[in-house]
Structure 1
Amino acid sequence: MEALPARARVYVAGVTVAGLLCLLPAVPVRAAPAPDASWRAVASLAVLYACCERLARSRQFGAPNSGGTFHPVLLAAAFLLPPSAAALVALPGALLAPVEQRPFLARRVWRAGQLPLAVWAASRAHRAAGGGETVAVGDVPAALGAAGAAVLVFCLVLTLLDRGIVVLVGGLPLRPGSRTTRRTTWWRLFLRSLAPVTVHGLAGLMMALLWRSPHGPVAALLVLPPMYVSWWAFAQYHRERAAHQATIRALVQAVDIKDGYTRGHSERVGQASTMIARELGMDDERTEVLRFAGILHDVGKLGVPTRLLTKDGPLTPEERRVIELHPEYGHEMVRGISFLGEARAAVLHHHERLDGSGYPYGLAGGQIPESARVVAVADAFDAMTSNRSYSRARPVPAALDELQRCAGGHFDPRMVEALVRAIGRTGWHPAVTAEDARQPAGPPAPPAAEPAAGSPGARR
């Protein structure tokens, strides 16, 4: 807990106390539980959930950032048991599941409060929708409606609690696999979580119906193997994704080491490309590809002599021709990486211009791939707002004005306006700023020494 700010520790403690208070009705003075819940069912589901959670986080099934809790058993408990008993099912697994990231104690305590609270709320919603009776009599159509209400409440509680801790901690989600940042809106996080939780809810409902059927709890266990197969496939996807990310990071770090003046530039271009893609309404998968395109657009500089990349003052025509080969070098490096998709075209064509004055092939207008037009704007924007060996950084408004001035000639007006709108709404808050890079101090080059950063001849 010591790794968290004081306000975050208070928040975690409050959620934990609320989660524990949900358990109190399940521990009455008399030995018998609520009429519709047996201690055998509570204990069986609690042990089953703890085992499932342990297996889900094992090396065979787990993967870096592959997701959070294995929800089917928890949701089955919400459908089968009264709220306090269902919350009790979550507690042992939350406490015993392995924790792989710091702060260890905070994450364990957080789960012990968050999960019982979410399961308690889901069970309350299920009962309010008449789900207890529908599961008992095996009325599947009616049970689906009540289960849907429970899933929505369960996902909403998890989302709001996660959002709260992210805001207080400053971008450190305590739930494993939560890809949340301070700027992620709660409803985006909710929508992102809803689909997998819904699938787990359907599996939990099937478990509950079989549990109450004449076949009994043993039949309910048959739901779990297919769920674990899908969980394993999901983990494999995340392992592959982690390998992709590692490949990209290695390439970008190599460029940053070679060219200290542009350290962090690739990450910022990726961020600006993402903002443009989202503003244009592109789906998440394509937005991710364009982020890769922005991050990797300058990878070809690995083939350019360092003395040219860091040279103070103007370049000779021959030196400029050497630098202008970097898009082709970059394309050769990444063309065999299939998962990059259209990002490979962006690496090759991000210095083409709408009027045909760009390089390496002088493409014009619609001949230039859309991904390259996105990255071209993002690249020019960051080049203008960062210190270089040949120019000083411009203010963000001045850089946007320059992009708008060059729109239609050098840059696609749609991409320029998308970036202007996105920055106007959220501002420009790069994850890696130009000041983070170790840049040598020196006087700015004379205006005639090098073309403006947003112009076709700029050295980028």
Structure 2
Amino acid sequence: MDAVPARARVYAAGVVLAALLCLRPLPATPTPWRAVLLLAGLYAGSELVARSRSVGTCYPVLLAGAFLLPPPAAALVALPGALLSPVPRRPSAPRRVWRAAQLTLAVWAAAYVHGRLGGRDALVDPDFPYALVPAGAAVLAFCLVLTLLDGGILALADHVPASRTWRGLFTRTLGPVAVHGLAGLMMAVLWRSPYGPVAALLVLLPMCVAWWAFAQYHRERAAHQATIRALVQAVDIKDGYTRGHSERVGRATMMIARELGMDDERVETLRFAGILHDVGKLGVPTRLLRKEGALTPEERRVIELHPEYGHEMVRGIRFLGEARAAVLHHHERLDGSGYPYGLVGDRIPESARVVAVADAFDAMTSTRSYRRARPVAAAVEELQRCAGKQFDPRMVGALVRALGRHGWHPSVTADGTPAPPTATATPGRPRGEGAPDSRDSVGRRAV
């Protein structure tokens, strides 16, 4: 927890304290312990299964509790599952406590709104569509609390700008939770019906089928990602001087995409594009990749085939989407002097224009066999000089703004050694650095 900023810890402590206050029983309102224990046990079991298969949280049980129980009792339903379920990152204990507090507040808010609108009375003698009104309001309250708390911790702990913290977060959460809310409402109606709690559990069967289908998709995606990692590792082994380059380009690509306001799904796609942009080097002779000194024209033509090799290798991976075009076109230039097809201006795919800037930036700030690394400020100056001719000015500007906000702290240099503190380096080309080699991404045709 030492790495977490103090203000984020104070914020999290305040959320935990608020959750504890929400658990206080209401005066003159008995707690239906039988229903609380049954729902809490059901949620804990489903949460353990869902987390083990990486399919998210079982919100129908939580929302059914919000529809059936008073706010403090409904909030209790979330505690066992949230405190016992596995978390993907360390430290696990604080993350479990945070998750428990977050869900406690969200369920309490949903139960409070539902009760204030007469939702529990509507469950006894269901009056559709009126019963949907308090249930829908409760789902909105549930989503609003989750997104507010998520956005707050992102802004304070991860230093995400406030202008982008909550952008799209509520709308992305609302759709899935609304579906879970309908399932929770059906559970609550059946629970209060003559058929009782056993019938209510049948509602979870179609949800289990949906979870299974999602788990299948997740496993397929994980297999693709493992393939991507293997390809990148193969490139790093073959071209030792650029070890770590692909991961750093993926990181710089994400910085540009986020600065441009792209949605999370597209940011992830462009990250894959950055990681895979040089995968075609597997088809280039190793002696050319490791050659010290300038390349001959014939050798340069051989190396310039690597975007087409890479595109052939990844075009069958469907989920990559526009990343495949970036692999093929990341060495095109706005003025048409790039390769492999000499595309001009907007004819170059946007994804390729993003990766081109990220690739050039990391190439200049990394040590290679044929030249030393440039300071970040000198690399930025060179990108700005070439903007409009070689690089898209929008992408260059986005990278400059992102670097100004976050800096550049790569974990390794191109040769695998610890990175120097280039993020605060002074401008200017280092003394003793020769003219750009044909393998540089700036100044001449790039590889």
Give the counterpart of 1:47 among 41, 50, 69.
Answer: 41
Residue of structure 1 in register with 2:410 after alignment: 432
Contact 2:244 2:413 in 1 (8 A): no
> Are the equivalent residues in 2 in contact too, given 1:300–1:329 (CA < 8 A)?
yes
Single out whichever of 157-166 and 207-216 deviates more from structure 2.
157-166
Tell whether the 8 Å contact from 1:349 to 1:372 is kept in structure 2 after alignment.
Answer: yes
* d(CA) in 2 for partners of 1:311, 1:14: 59
Change over 3 Å in CA distance of 1:229–1:444 after alignment to 2: farther
Provide the residue aligned with 2:425 in structure 1.
none
Within 5 Å, which residues of 2 pair with 1:43-442? 43-58=37-52, 62-63=53-54, 66-67=55-56, 69-98=57-86, 101-165=89-153, 185-277=165-257, 284-365=264-345, 368-394=348-374, 399-400=379-380, 402-411=382-391, 413=392, 416-421=393-398, 423-424=400-401, 427=405, 429-430=407-408, 432=410, 435=413, 438=416
Contact conserved, 1:76 with 1:204, CA < 8 A, in 2?
A: yes
Query: Contact 1:313–1:450 (CA<8 Å) still a contact in 2?
Result: no
Alignment partners' CA distance in 1, 2:388 and 2:155: 40
Distance 1:99 1:374 in 2: 33
2 CA distance for matches of 1:237 and 1:250?
A: 20
**Matches of 1:275 and 1:13, distance apart in 2:** 30
Partner SS, residue 130 of structure 2: helix
* Aligned-pair CA distance for 1:225: 0.7
User: What displacement does 1:49 show?
Assistant: 2.0
Q: Is the 8 A contact 1:155 1:194 kept in 2?
A: yes
1:245 to partner: Cα distance: 1.7
Q: What CA distance in whole angstroms lies between the structure 1 residues aligned with 2:411 and 2:308? A: 28
Secondary structure class of the residue paired with 2:442: coil
2:427 corresponding residue in structure 1: none
Task: Give the match for residue 32 of structure 2.
Answer: 38
Q: 1:401 to 1:286 in 2, by over 3 A?
A: same
Distance 1:422 1:71, change over 3 A: same
3-state SS, counterpart of residue 58 of structure 2: coil
Q: Give the conservation status (yes or no) of the 8 Å contact 1:352–1:361.
A: yes
Match in the other structure for 1:24: 24
SS at match of 2:131: helix
Using the TM superposition, give the Cα deviation of residue 188 of structure 1 relative to its aligned residue in structure 2, in angstroms. 4.2
Partners of 1:252 and 1:393 in 2: how far apart? 22
- Whether the aligned pair in 2 keeps the contact of 1:389 and 1:444 (CA below 8 Å) is no
CA separation of 1:9 and 1:326: change in aligned 2, threshold 3 A: same
Alpha-carbon RMSD: 3.7
Unaligned regions of 5+ residues in structure 1, if any? 172-179
Unaligned 5+ runs, structure 2: 421-429
127-136 or 158-167: which moved more?
Answer: 158-167
Provide closer, same or farther for how the CA distance between residues 347 and 249 of structure 1 changes in structure 2, counting only shifts above 3 A.
same
Q: Measure the CA separation in 1 of the matches of 2:58 and 2:20.
A: 21
Mapped partners of 2:166, 2:40: distance in 1: 30
Conserved? CA contact 1:410–1:456, under 8 Å = no
Provide the secondary structure at the position in 2 that maps to 1:206.
helix
C-alpha displacement at 1:197, in angstroms? 1.8
SS of the residue aligned with 2:67?
A: helix
Overall identity of the aligned pairs, in %: 69
Deviation by residue 1:177-213 (Cα, 9 ceiling, x = unmatched): xxx9999714444443332222212211222222233
1:72 Cα deviation from its structure 2 partner: 0.6
Q: Which amino acid is the alignment partner of residue 319 of structure 1?
A: E
Contact kept? 1:262, 1:388, Cα under 8 Å: yes
1:351·1:456 contact (CA, 8 Å) conserved in 2?
Answer: no
Please list the CA deviations of residues 89-141 of structure 1 after superposition, one character each: whole Å capped at 9, or x if unmatched.
Answer: 22233344355654343344334433223211221222233433333442333
Q: Secondary structure at the match of 1:141?
A: coil
Equivalent residue for 1:175?
A: none
Amino acid at match of 1:78: A
Matched residue count:
436
* More divergent stretch after superposition (271-280 vs 436-445): 436-445
